[in-house]
Amino acid sequence: MLNRLLFQRIDNSPLIVFRIFFGILVSLECFGAIATGWVKRNLISPKYTFPFIDFEFLQPLPGNGMYFYFVLMGLLGLFIAVGFKYRLSIISFTVLWTATYLMQKTAYNNHYYLLILISLIMCFFPAERSRSYDVKMKPELESNSMYAYVKWAVVLQLFIVYVYASIAKMYGDWLDFSTIAVLMHSKKSYWLVGTILQEPWIHSIIGSVGILFDLLIVPALLWKPTRKAAFFISLFFHLFNSIIFQIGIFPYLSIAFSVFFFEPETIRKIFFKTKPAFVSSYSSTPNNSNTILVTAAIYFIIQLVLPIRHHAIKDDVLWSEEGHRMSWRMMLRSRQGKGRYKVVDNDTKEEFIIKPKDYVSRGQERKIFAYPDFAWQFAQYLKKEFEQEDRNVSVYLENSKISINRKPYVPFIDAKTDLAAETWYQTKHHDWILPSNFGKSKK
């Protein structure tokens, strides 16, 4: 039964269309990052980029090197779109984009992580087998079909993303729509819609639709009777997000995924009218089917476990942020922090009050007071800076307080902890993060 579902041959038009859309969109993302100043703000101007912990070896290229880096990724996106040296292009883009993602956290976005996963999956798909430069140069590569597992891999990945995003929204501040009010507050100056976005009844609609859309959109697209309606709802939903939240290519990438939910023949007739139809639907189990199944099982088990790892860590993830990233917890909270960094020379007992603006950008400054991993990394960074002056120092964050979703500020980091002497653990709670005030903590 499983072999029949996964290894049935189907028309490959959806994959070919998606390859073209995907390549164009990632190219626009990369060139847009240069044009909007994203590259300069996050990878060129900062003295330190706050890479993912354990990936400190990934540092931006010196000088203006990251501009060339992003130009290269943009060109690779175009190569993917036209199917030029597809396999090399998609693998190269995946490696470069993953490195970019890991070398800075200030502008962290779940959508950037999703782009890594889709790029990785696309490395293994035969997306160059039609309407590509590779086929033009080597006609024997051409094929009008693909294994059905290509479609189901994408569908399952999207199902995981959306369902986890829906479940994550089922918490107090979202259910009473106060989180929506916080998100919409910064949009009040928007032309035409700014005022209405501040209305409580609009917050109720946005909050409710957010949960229901994420929970039901994939099943609704899969079921033929609701498919067209679900597509137009999806179109409106993602265009709304694009206009209001300005989150880059993600809404358009989400729309592009729709090609995998329609009948392949329908996609062929819309986009490739001259492409020969694939009429057979026979099952042909490849020799490496067991390898494919085992690899897919491992991958999707990781995708299922990684977003819920925070349940194995003490206290609430909304408070501690431990286990937050790569968990599809999108647009759930707003955090502000404050405090004072103090460096103490352990030999002379001399104290230095740090002015963060002397070390980090304005965006980074907001992070080092509100997020524990940023606070820890900044302490490590300060320690290394003072070591250059042959000083052995301790680093403390005094009067640390945070506000989540614009609630009153409450104490956050233990002021007596020398953050520079602490070790960061990826899967354990850090006791220097004070207990939350959310009620009962996880055990």
Residue 120 is predicted with a pLDDT of: 97
Domain count, the chain: 1
Place of tokens 């996880």: 442
**Domain presence at residue 443:** no
CA–CA gap between residue 404 and residue 127 (Å, rounded) = 44
**Domain presence at residue 393:** no
Residue 440 is predicted with a pLDDT of: 41
At 344-361, the pLDDT tens digits run: 999 999 999 999 999 999
At 199-209, the pLDDT tens digits run: 999 999 999 99
Residue 3 is predicted with a pLDDT of: 77
**Domain presence at residue 95:** yes
**Domain presence at residue 325:** no
**Domain presence at residue 62:** yes
Residue 441 is predicted with a pLDDT of: 39
**Domain presence at residue 130:** yes
Terminal Cα distance for the chain, rounded: 41
Sheet arrangement for strand 410-411: 351-353, 335-345, 393-404, 410-411
Number of other residues whose CB lies within 10 A of the CB of residue 282: 8
CA–CA gap between residue 178 and residue 111 (Å, rounded) = 23
Asked if 345 contacts 395 with a C-beta cutoff of 8 angstroms, the reply is no
Question: Which residues constitute the domain of residue 92?
Answer: 9-145
At 284-303, the pLDDT tens digits run: 788 888 999 999 999 999 99
Closest CA to 197 of 211, 184, 186: 184
pLDDT tens for each residue of the chain, 443 residues long: 777 789 999 999 999 999 999 999 999 999 999 999 999 999 999 999 999 999 999 999 999 999 999 999 999 999 999 999 999 999 999 999 999 999 999 999 899 999 999 999 999 999 999 999 999 999 999 999 999 999 999 999 999 999 999 999 999 999 999 999 999 998 999 998 999 999 999 999 999 999 999 999 999 999 999 999 999 999 999 999 999 998 889 999 999 999 999 999 999 999 999 998 888 767 778 888 899 999 999 999 999 999 999 999 999 999 999 999 999 998 888 999 999 999 999 999 999 999 999 999 999 999 999 999 999 999 999 999 999 999 999 999 999 999 999 999 999 999 999 999 999 999 899 999 999 976 443 43
Residue 438 is predicted with a pLDDT of: 63
How far lies 39's CA from each of 75, 79, 98, 100, in Å?
16, 22, 15, 10
Residue 437 is predicted with a pLDDT of: 77
Residue 297 is predicted with a pLDDT of: 96
**Domain presence at residue 122:** yes
